[in-house]
Amino acid sequence: MTRILADIPDDDLEKLDALAAREKRSRASAIREAVRLYLVQHEGDSDWIERGFGYWAHRDDIGDGVEYQRAMREDRRPYHDI
């Protein structure tokens, strides 16, 4: 186990100490649990692109993205006319 040094606002520290006292545990134990819960909540955040890939693939109400881009570009004036 590694020790760390962290700056925590006094208000948060008071609330943390009160919570730890109610649960009859140490401040360090409460902080370890908070870190553990934070890591569990953010587990897998790095693969959000893979999780979202193909999400709308089977939707019939959404047209083809490439066709949409081409249609939008057809409506543009040529750059030399600007």
**Residue 52: what residue type?**
G
Rounded CA-CA distance 63/71 in Å is 11
The 10s digit of each residue's pLDDT in 3-48 is 999 999 999 999 999 999 999 999 999 999 999 999 888 887 667 7
Q: How confident is the model at residue 82 (pLDDT cuts 50, 70, 90)?
A: low
The structure tokens listed for 72 are 């939008």
Q: What is the pTM of this model?
A: 0.53
Total residues found in the chain within this entry: 82
